[in-house]
């Protein structure tokens, strides 16, 4: 009986093996096998943002080989810039992209290769100088992949419409790198709850308070090394609006004696308590000292109460 069971099991194994061999599928391939395309042509991959900077930033493009296999030999691929496609793209999509102006970009090469046994080409790059562009505009550069001899190219993914959506300015708060001095301190001294240190403690819930606002009051921030400040912010205090600064000058100096006017404001009002206002200045010069010289308050006269919650310095470098 045991011998018969062993013979039956062996017969089943042999039959299953033969059946499996008879049903072996053909080699799997895809309809798009070997077709070339640009991966960056897929809709969202063509959109990008840049930082506002003096140095070039790069985006990459190239060719890809579709399917489950690999090319058996190198495939040279070339590209071309097609600025004439921008108008038709705008018309079809209701957009207003502009061509990148000459001098704002460069392309290292328009030729590359998909190496044998690889599915993507050696990447190519576009270098863009964002400081040569208008931050209020959007830009486009269409790149077309040319069909290599003997190769198939996807018509839907043959052109990448590279679209610059925005130029983001890199803003860095450098207040904490400086040392604060003021022309007049809180009446209870620098250790008081509302002393001058509260002006730069990065907390808009605290404030600097003077019970007697003097003529010619100033607050000053000094750096060890000169810094290029491109903007500053002021935040109103939590109390009566007549204590807010109204008129002031923002000044820069490298020796603490000779001052350059970077910004002059008059008639400024804060719409709410704890409101932060951003003031940009045209400045490319590094200074060691920055001074906020306040000449008038919103409602209080000289000798009245003054308050300011926060003063911060911003660089775009």
The structure tokens listed for 222 are 């000094």
Sorted by where each starts, the structural domains of the chain and their CATH numbers stand as 35-169 (2.60.40.1740), 173-315 (2.60.120.260)
- Separation of alpha carbons 225 and 231, rounded Å: 18
- Separation of alpha carbons 233 and 281, rounded Å: 11
Is residue 7 classed as helix, strand or coil in its secondary structure?
A: helix
For residue range 281-290, list pLDDT tens digits in order: 999 999 999 9
Instruction: Show pLDDT as tens, one digit a residue, over the chain (317 residues).
Output: 444 434 434 443 343 443 344 444 444 445 678 899 999 998 788 999 999 888 999 999 999 999 888 999 999 999 999 999 999 999 999 999 999 999 999 999 999 999 999 999 999 999 999 999 999 999 999 999 998 888 899 999 999 999 999 999 889 999 999 999 999 999 999 999 999 999 999 999 999 999 999 999 999 999 999 999 999 999 999 999 999 999 999 999 999 999 999 999 999 999 999 999 999 999 999 999 999 999 999 999 999 999 999 999 999 87
Residue 226 has φ and ψ, to the nearest 5°, of -60, 140
Residues sharing a CB contact under 8 Å with residue 263, sequence separation 6 or more, in sequence order: 232, 249, 250, 279, 281
For the chain, the straight-line distance linking the first and the last C-alpha, in angstroms and rounded, comes to: 90
- Do the beta carbons of residue 228 and residue 282 sit within 8 Å? no
For residue range 261-288, list pLDDT tens digits in order: 999 999 999 999 999 999 999 999 999 9
State the pTM of this model. 0.65
Q: How many residues does the chain have?
A: 317
Residue 31: predicted pLDDT: 61
Residue 95: predicted pLDDT: 97
- Do the beta carbons of residue 128 and residue 72 sit within 8 Å? no
- Do the beta carbons of residue 160 and residue 44 sit within 8 Å? no
């Amino acid at each position: 009986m045991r011998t018969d069971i062993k013979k039956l099991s062996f017969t089943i194994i042999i039959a299953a093996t033969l059946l499996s061999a008879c049903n072996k599928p053909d080699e799997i391939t895809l309809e798009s096998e070997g077709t070339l395309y640009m991966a960056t042509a897929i809709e969202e991959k063509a959109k990008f943002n840049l930082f506002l900077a003096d140095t070039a930033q790069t985006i990459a493009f190239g060719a890809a080989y579709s399917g489950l296999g690999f090319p058996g030999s190198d495939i040279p691929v070339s590209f071309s810039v097609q600025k004439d496609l921008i108008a038709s793209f705008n018309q079809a999509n209701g957009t207003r992209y502009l061509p990148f102006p000459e001098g704002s970009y460069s392309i290292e090469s328009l030729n590359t290769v998909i190496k044998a046994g690889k599915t993507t080409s050696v990447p190519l790059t576009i270098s863009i100088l964002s400081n040569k562009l208008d931050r209020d505009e959007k830009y486009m550069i269409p790149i077309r992949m040319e069909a290599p001899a003997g190769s198939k190219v996807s018509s839907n993914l043959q052109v990448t419409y590279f679209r610059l959506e925005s130029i983001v300015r890199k803003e860095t708060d450098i207040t904490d790198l400086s040392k604060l001095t003021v022309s007049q301190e809180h009446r209870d001294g620098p250790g008081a709850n509302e002393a001058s240190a509260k002006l730069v403690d990065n907390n808009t819930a605290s404030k600097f308070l003077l019970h007697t606002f003097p003529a010619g009051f100033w607050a000053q921030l000094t750096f060890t090394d000169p810094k290029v400040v491109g903007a500053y912010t002021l935040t109103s205090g939590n109390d009566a609006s007549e204590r807010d600064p109204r008129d002031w000058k923002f000044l820069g100096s490298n020796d603490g004696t000779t001052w350059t006017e970077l910004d002059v404001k008059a008639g400024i009002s804060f719409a709410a308590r704890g409101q932060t206002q951003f003031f940009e200045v045209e400045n490319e010069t590094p200074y060691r000292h920055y001074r906020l010289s306040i000449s008038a308050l919103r409602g209080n006269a000289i000798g009245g109460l003054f308050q300011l919650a926060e003063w911060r310095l911003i660089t775009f470098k």
